Amino acid sequence: MASSVNNIAATFATVTGSSSSTISASSSVSTSSLTSFPLSIPQRPLSVSWNPHTSLPKSHTPSLINLYGPPGPRRSFNSISTVKSKPIAVPVGYKLPDVTLSYLAQNGAVQFVSLRRLCKGKRVVLVGVSAAFSPSCTRFVKRVESEKSRAVDLLACVAFNDVFVMKAWGENLAVGEKVMMLSDGGGELCGALGMTVDAGATACFGLGVRPRRFCLSAVNGVVTSINFDDDVEDDALPSIKSTV
C-alpha cells in the first residue's frame, strides 16, 4: 500500500514538472516572439499625418486643392514689395527716341514703322498701357480717345503685347482708325522713355516688367507734355485734358 502511494506521488511529481517546464518554455517563446517583431510603422509628424493630401502625388490630389492650395491661412500679398519704377529718361523738350514699332494692317500683314517718321510734322498723342484688355487700361484708352482734341493729327496706343493682341483689342474697343494700335514687343520705346515698371512682385497678376500707363504729347517728334501713372493695379488716371 505504501509503495503504491509512493509510485503515484512520483508519477504526479514527474507530470507536474514536465507541465511547468512546458509552460515556462511556451512563455519564453511567446516573450521572445514579442521582442523579435518590433513595430515597423514609422513615426510621422502631426502636420503630415493629419493631412492626407501631403502624401499623395500631385496628380491624385483633389482639384480644389490644386486650385486653392492646402488647408491653412492664405498667403498675404500685403507683405510683398511694392512696384518698382524707373525715372523718366525723356523729359519735356526732348526728341522722341528713334525706335521701330509694329502693327497689324487691315489686310493682316505685319507692318513696321519708325516712331520719328510717324511723328514728323504732326501733333501726336501717344498712350502707353500696361496690359491690353485689362479693365484699368481699357478705361484709360477710352478716356484718352474721348478727350482727343481736333487739333491732334494722330492718336496712338502702345503696349508690350504683340500686334495680334493689339489689333483684337482695338476691335474690341471699337476705336476703328481713330486710334493706331502699336506693339512695342521688345520694350524699346518704353525702355528708352523710362516708362517701364517692374510689377513682378504683384504675383497675383503675373505682369512682370510692363509699361506704365502714360499719356504723351509731341509736336514734330518733340515731347511737349507727359503724364503717367505709377500704379499698375489701381485706376488712378492722370489728367488727360492737360496732356492733350
Rounded percentage of the chain residues whose pLDDT exceeds 70: 45
**Is residue 35 a part of any domain in this protein?**
no
> What mean pLDDT do residues 3-18 have?
52
Cell of 38: 518590433
For the chain, the domain total comes to 1
**Is residue 221 a part of any domain in this protein?**
yes
Residue 191's domain spans which residues? 94-226
**Is residue 214 a part of any domain in this protein?**
yes
Instruction: Compare 63 and 77 and report the one with higher pLDDT.
Output: 63
**Is residue 84 a part of any domain in this protein?**
no
Look up cell 502631426; give the residue.
46
**Is residue 118 a part of any domain in this protein?**
yes
Q: Quick: pLDDT tens for 184-235.
A: 888 888 888 887 776 665 544 555 666 778 888 999 999 998 887 755 444 4
**Is residue 145 a part of any domain in this protein?**
yes
Residue 161: predicted pLDDT: 85
**Is residue 72 a part of any domain in this protein?**
no
pTM: 0.55
- For residue 185, what is the domain's CATH number? 3.40.30.10
Residue 241: predicted pLDDT: 41
Cell of 213: 500707363
137 is catalytic: yes
Is the separation of the CB atoms in 72 and 47 below 8 Å? no
Q: What is the Cα Rg of the chain in Å?
A: 40
**Is residue 12 a part of any domain in this protein?**
no
For 111, phi and psi rounded to 5 degrees?
Answer: -115, 145
Question: In the chain, where does DSSP find H-type helix?
Answer: 2-35, 46-49, 63-68, 115-119, 135-146, 163-173, 188-193, 240-243
Q: Which of 137, 157, 190, 215 is catalytic?
A: 137
